[in-house]
Amino acid sequence: MDDELADVFVKTRKDHPTWGPKKLRAFVAAQQPELVVPAASTIGELLKSRGLIRPRRRRLRVPLHTSPLSSSDRPNSTWCADFKGHFALGDRTRCHPLTITDDYSRYLLACEGMHDPKGKPVCEHFERVFREFGVPERIRTDNGAPFASKAPGGLSALSVWWIKLGIVPERIEPGRPEQNGRHERMHRTLKDEATQPPGATLNEQQRVLDRFRHEYNDVRPHEALNQKPPAKIYVTSARSFPQSPRSPEYGEGFIVRKLDDLGRLRRPSARHVMTRLLSLEPVGLREVDDDRWEVFYGPVLLGTLDETGKEPRFIRAG
């Protein structure tokens, strides 16, 4: 490699210090097609010789967990959402970045810094994303707030809203972040490129996050996408954001019952407390045995209603 070409790769690496030789090769080849670019291994040796690659610490490798979660075979079949670990800003407030990605294309749909990762502002961010990109079939999250709660089925106000929009909430197992591995890998890149050093204020940090999102989506080659950036793969959803949420409907084999204003299921023999999150909402009862019923809210199993004994009881799922 001549010195002039070597300088191109060194400068590109300095501009993008977290990119490896394969990404650098794909990026330079796309930006300057007249160049004859060397193999990625040659670029790696160049970077080592210039002190631009640090040796990695060896990590303990463990077998991957076989996940029962659905696979993503096209854009918008599954979105992933999470809060990247919070960090302190220069003004001593904390930033909680809300991130949403399309699992298939790795497209970063949202990267929004928040002071408080709860309540109405979270819904507002999701609504903006739904209005811009449409709605997915599923959204995969961990088991933390505001995505889940201790209510039956792990429902939260946010996930109930998703169900009313026709979205299936999907949660990974507790303590198994590798089940959302693509999203977690994006968080590592986000930490390296957009949080060190942190911004002085939330507004300043958001400008950094916006620039990171643009580069991640439109510029940065992705090895799993044949060195294409996610924007070359992602397309918006054909399912538009509905004008108003609708309670779920139930098919054949279900008996539908509406909960009362306290979120209780009234039966001839007793009233069973579900959750106030579902007050006045319809649940579906599916008989699995004589006087034993599975209770669903939309696609989510809330638990089992056992009316076989003298004292009927509701047993929460999980």
pLDDT in tens, 75-130: 999 999 999 989 999 999 999 999 999 999 999 999 999 998 887 899 999 999 99
Q: Is the pLDDT assigned to residue 241 strictly greater than 70?
A: yes
User: How confident is the prediction for the chain on average, in pLDDT?
Assistant: 89
Share of the chain above pLDDT 70, in %: 94
Residue 131: is its pLDDT beyond 70? yes
Structure pTM? Answer: 0.81
Q: What is the amino acid identity at position 256?
A: V
Residue 181: band (very low, low, confident or very high) from pLDDT cuts 50, 70, 90:
confident
- In order of 32, 175, 252, 302, 307, the CA distances from 287 in angstroms are 65, 33, 12, 14, 11
- The pairing of strands 138-141 and 168-171 is parallel
Confidence class for position 71, pLDDT limits 50, 70, 90: confident
Structure tokens that stand for 267 in this block = 């039966």
**pLDDT interval class at 180 (50, 70, 90):** confident
Question: Residue 14: pLDDT above 50?
Answer: yes
Pick the residue with more confidence: 282 or 10?
Answer: 282
User: Quick one: tokens of 115?
Assistant: 């002071």
Residue 68's pLDDT band (cuts 50, 70, 90): low
Q: Which residues contact 314 (CB under 8 A, 6 or more apart)?
A: 265, 272, 273, 274, 295, 303, 304, 305, 306
List, for residues 30-64, the tens digit of each pLDDT value: 999 998 999 999 998 888 887 677 665 554 343 33
pLDDT, position 54 = 62
Does 306 have pLDDT greater than 60? yes
pLDDT, one tens digit per residue, over 80-92 is: 999 998 999 999 9
Topology given in CATH for the domain delimited by 78-232? Nucleotidyltransferase; domain 5 (3.30.420)
Res. 139: pLDDT tops 50:
yes
| Sequence letter at residue 295 | V
Where along the chain do its domains lie? 3-49, 78-232, 255-316
* 20 vs 175, more confident: 20
Tokens, residue 193: 């490129």
At 3, the amino acid letter reads: D
Residues in the chain: 318
Q: Residue 221: which of 55, 21, 82, 34 has the closest Cα?
A: 21
Give, rounded to a whole angstrom, the gap between the first and last alpha carbons of the chain. 60
Please state the three-class secondary structure of the chain as a single string.
CCHHHHHHHHHHHHHCCCCCHHHHHHHHHHHCCCCCCCCHHHHHHHHHHCCCCCCCCCCCCCCCCCCCCCCCCCCCCEEEEEECCCEECCCCCEEEEEEEEECCCCCEEEEEEECCCCCHHHHHHHHHHHHHHCCCCEEEECCCCCCCCCCHHHCCHHHHHHHHCCCEEEECCCCCHHHHHHHHHHHHHHHHHHCCCCCCCHHHHHHHHHHHHHHHHHCCCEHHHCCECHHHCCCCCCCCCCCCCCCCCCCCCCEEEECCCCCEEECCCCEEECCHHHCCCEEEEEEEECCEEEEEECCEEEEEEECCCCCCEEEECC
- Cβ atoms of 136 and 121 closer than 8 Å: no
Tokens standing for residue 317: 């799922």
Instruction: Please state at what angle helix 202-218 crosses helix 181-194, rounded to 10 degrees.
Output: 120
